């Protein structure tokens, strides 16, 4: 059947929108790299930046070969739990998916591995990154995607048999992306244990602040910029008019989603600013940056289905979730250099619950049924929408924690038992840059000049240990 000129233009505009959103999400990799580099000590800067590059290149291959198929595979071999077609993009493009959709989903997949990399920074063998990054982006994460975002997934809002008549609303991935990466990072960090010197003999934390606040702030703003592709871009199509209106469509909801994203992050940032001021006695730029990101993580689930005022509620509580979990992690001697477990895990979990409480019925219909007035769906409990949605949100939270724990936990433990996970104490004290990558990211940095081994010192010590 011949496609009309109007249909061609519509498809063209929607494809351009999706590709532009994919490019924005990919910019987040640069944001992760800068944030991570600034948050670690200078002697590990090269290592953490290289791991961010590895997350992208390894994730590209694994998601192309297996990941997209497990996430969105359709047909008789697929099930509500796993896809089983489109391996190596065989059968793409088709009536449902094209290359632009693959690229957009790939950008999400590599972001997950970046979250996990931050949790295990400054003490992990480089070869371990290759293993867990490939497995996480090629198998563990895509399975969760299939459950929630595939049209046949058992938790999907598009399933013919919706759980509790609703399905889980995780519009851009507070659970699917952020909670998955955080739980994987938790197990990696927990199994490795804290960095050398992070806690003293009495169990009290010893400060190990990142070496460059400029990079942290730069990374935060790059992530903020990329989040406008992450959240609004998850509509996939922008040129979708809503019925019974003359001036509203997906473009309206896209704009609102950008606003709720901004308000949640901003509210979390200002709350963290004053909250940490009360706790530590000074204004801390690095804490504020993490607070902003915590607000973005939390709103990612419900960004398209809540009012702007509700986004501010989301950000306010996300800040206190992050602050509280950071305090708890120090008491439990849990060491996550980027606070990734607390930020992406705690705020991601809160985001799922928040959506179940505050999702507005009208916006839910807009996001999932193009505004059709003939459809009824459960919505937020506090908005009068009943228990169906909040029940699905809690189920999603629990199954993600269970699934990632039973897959990534054994992977990290096996690497640990095979002595492939953590570097030696000598290597950690010297710094990963000289022990694994041949030199520092910076020259004549005071930290390396005064407190760390130089490259020749390290190689001489390494040779002595080998003999």
- Tell me: the pLDDT tens digits for 92-133? 999 889 999 999 999 999 999 999 999 999 999 988 989 999
Contact indicator for 368, 392 with CB cutoff of 8 Å = no
DSSP 204-217: -B-----S-HHHHH
Torsion angle defined by CA atoms of residues 196, 290, 184 and 22, in that order, rounded to the nearest 10 degrees: -130
pLDDT in tens, 243-296: 988 889 999 999 999 999 999 999 999 999 999 999 888 888 899 999 999 999
- pTM assigned to the model: 0.93
Query: Cβ(227)–Cβ(234) under 8 Å?
Result: no
CA dist., res. 82 & res. 150, Å (int)? 9
CA 18, 115, 180, 408: dihedral to nearest 10 degrees?
Answer: 130
By the 10 Å C-beta count (0-12 exposed, 13-18 middle, 19+ buried), 144 is classed as: buried
3-state secondary structure at position 153: coil
**Rounded to an integer, what distance in angstroms lies between the CA atom of residue 438 and that of residue 208?**
23
For the chain, the 3-state helix, strand and coil shares in percent, each to the nearest 5, are 70, 0, 30
Place of tokens 């959240």: 231
Run of H or E including 357 = helix 347-358
Exposure of 271 by Cβ count < 10 A (0-12 exposed, 13-18 middle, 19+ buried)? buried
Name 124's bridge partners.
Answer: 422
Number of neighbours of residue 237 by Cβ within 10 angstroms: 17
133-183 per-position pLDDT tens digit: 999 999 999 999 999 999 999 999 998 899 999 999 999 999 999 999 999
Give the separation between CA 438 and CA 312, rounded to whole angstroms. 47
Digit-coded pLDDT (tens) for 178-220? 999 999 999 999 999 999 999 998 889 998 889 999 999 999 9
Domains and CATH numbers, the chain: 15-422 (1.10.3430.10), 428-466 (no CATH)
For 82, 85, 88, 158, the CA distances from 76, given in Å and listed in that order, are 12, 9, 18, 18
pLDDT of residue 216: 96
Torsion of Cα atoms, 171 then 287 then 193 then 110, to 10°: 30
Q: What is the pLDDT of residues 335-377, one digit of tens each?
A: 999 999 999 999 999 999 999 999 999 999 999 999 887 888 9
Tell me how many degrees the CA angle 335-336-339 measures, rounded to the nearest 5.
135
Write down the residue that tokens 């206190």 correspond to: 320
């Amino acid at each position: 059947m011949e496609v009309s000129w109007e249909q061609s233009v519509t498809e063209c505009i929607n494809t351009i929108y999706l590709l532009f959103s994919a490019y924005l999400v990919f910019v987040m990799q640069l944001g992760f790299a800068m944030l991570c580099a600034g948050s670690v000590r200078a002697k590990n800067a090269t290592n953490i930046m290289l791991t961010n590059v590895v997350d992208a290149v390894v994730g590209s291959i694994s998601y192309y070969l297996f990941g997209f198929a497990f996430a969105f595979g359709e047909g008789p071999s697929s099930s509500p739990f796993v896809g089983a077609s489109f391996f190596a993009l065989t059968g793409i493009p088709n009536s449902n998916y094209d290359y632009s959709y693959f690229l957009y989903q790939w950008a999400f997949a590599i972001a997950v591995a970046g979250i996990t990399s931050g949790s295990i920074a400054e003490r992990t063998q480089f070869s371990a990154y290759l293993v867990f990054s490939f497995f996480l982006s090629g198998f563990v994460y895509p399975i969760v995607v299939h459950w929630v975002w595939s049209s046949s997934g058992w938790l999907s809002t598009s399933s013919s048999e919706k759980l509790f008549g609703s399905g889980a609303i995780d519009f851009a991935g507070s659970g699917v992306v952020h909670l998955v990466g955080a739980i994987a990072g938790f197990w990696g960090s927990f199994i490795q244990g804290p960095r050398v010197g992070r806690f003293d003999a009495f169990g009290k934390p010893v400060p190990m602040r990142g070496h460059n606040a400029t990079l942290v702030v730069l990374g935060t703003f790059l992530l903020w910029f990329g989040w406008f592709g992450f959240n609004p871009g998850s509509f996939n199509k922008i040129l979708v008019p809503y019925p019974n209106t003359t001036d509203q469509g997906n473009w309206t909801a896209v704009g609102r989603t950008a606003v709720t994203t901004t308000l949640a992050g901003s509210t979390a940032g200002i709350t963290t600013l004053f909250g940490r001021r009360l706790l530590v006695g000074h204004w801390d730029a690095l804490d504020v940056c993490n607070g902003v990101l915590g607000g973005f993580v939390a709103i990612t689930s419900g960004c398209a289905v809540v009012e702007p005022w509700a986004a501010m509620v989301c950000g306010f509580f996300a800040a206190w979730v992050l602050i509280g979990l950071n305090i708890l992690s120090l008491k439990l001697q849990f060491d996550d250099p980027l606070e990734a477990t607390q930020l992406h895990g705690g705020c991601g979990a809160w985001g799922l619950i928040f959506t179940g409480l505050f999702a507005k019925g009208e916006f839910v219909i807009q996001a999932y049924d193009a505004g059709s007035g003939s459809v009824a769906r459960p919505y937020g409990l506090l908005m009068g929408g009943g228990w169906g949605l909040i029940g699905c949100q809690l189920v999603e939270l629990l199954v993600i924690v269970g699934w990632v724990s039973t897959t990534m936990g054994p992977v990290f433990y096996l690497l640990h038992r095979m002595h492939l996970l953590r570097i030696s104490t000598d290597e950690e004290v010297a710094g990963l840059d000289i022990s694994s990558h041949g030199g520092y990211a910076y020259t004549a940095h005071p930290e390396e000049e005064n407190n760390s081994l130089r490259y020749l010192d390290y190689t001489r010590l390494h040779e002595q240990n080998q003999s």
